[in-house]
Structure 1
Amino acid sequence: MDARTILIRPVISEKSYALIAEGKYTFRVDDRAHKTQIAQAVEEVFGVGVAGVRTAKVRSKPKRRGLTKGRTRAWKKAIVQVAPGERIELFEGGQTA
């Protein structure tokens, strides 16, 4: 898999922005990607060293629109710990002091 197809997009939430202070960045990733592929993709795309990767499967949720029932799609997220002293500039714009 290509690095650009492994990392789908960053996860934008209060919890993910709180983790940035600890040097942890959250991404939505391809379901088939494993931790070493995710670490290599982050190093290639952002040029930072990766200290660790944690992954989690996010379950689908039931949704309803009128009488139509359905579910959201399940997805995989990765919390990437970058090496000490390094940052990913992509996330720095949305933080407020």
Structure 2
Amino acid sequence: MTNNIKSVNIDIIKYPIITDKSTQLLEENQYSFAVDNKAHKKDIKTTIEYIFNVKVKHINTSKRHPKKKRVGQFIGYKKRYKKAIITLDNNYSINLFPDN
């Protein structure tokens, strides 16, 4: 874990991505998050380790380009975002679905 609190920007992580594929990846200790478009892998790693108090093994990122959406005669685009798939060490896990 890092002790350098000054360099951690919590706003990099936007929200967890919960889809069918991402819930299957939870069994392999991999978690998907939407992150800031300008975030680097080192920044994402330090932020995840700081927020969830876990040890990150490695990170895969991809930029999702905007898709066309049509509503009647109007054509628009979905927003562009960056997706990070984070693999944790075997001893750690993140609880995305807390019990009420």
TM-score computed with the length of structure 1 as normaliser: 0.88
1:6 aligns with 2:12: yes
What CA RMSD, in Å, does the superposition of the two structures yield over aligned residues? 1.6
SS in 2 for 1:63: strand
Stretches (4+) displaced over 6 A: none
Q: Against the structure 1 CA distance between its residues 72 and 31, is the aligned structure 2 distance closer, same or farther, given a 3 Å change threshold?
A: same
Letter in structure 2 aligned against 1:6: I
Kept in 2, the 8 Å contact 1:3–1:45? The answer is: no
The residue identity in structure 2 corresponding to 1:7 is I
Q: Which sections of structure 1, spanning at least 5 residues, go unmatched?
A: none
SS in 1 for 2:93: coil
Contact 1:3 1:44 in 2 (8 A): no
Aligned residues of 2:8 and 2:46 also touching (Cα < 8 A) = no
Structure 1 equivalent of residue 63 of structure 2: 57
Partner of residue 71 from structure 1, selected from 58, 72, 77: 77
Aligned ranges 1:1-97 → 2 under 5 Å: 2-91=8-97
- Determine the C-alpha separation between the residues in 2 that align with 1:70 and 1:78: 25
**Identity of counterpart residues, as a percentage?**
35
Aligned residue pairs total: 93
Q: Which amino acid aligns with 2:81?
A: W
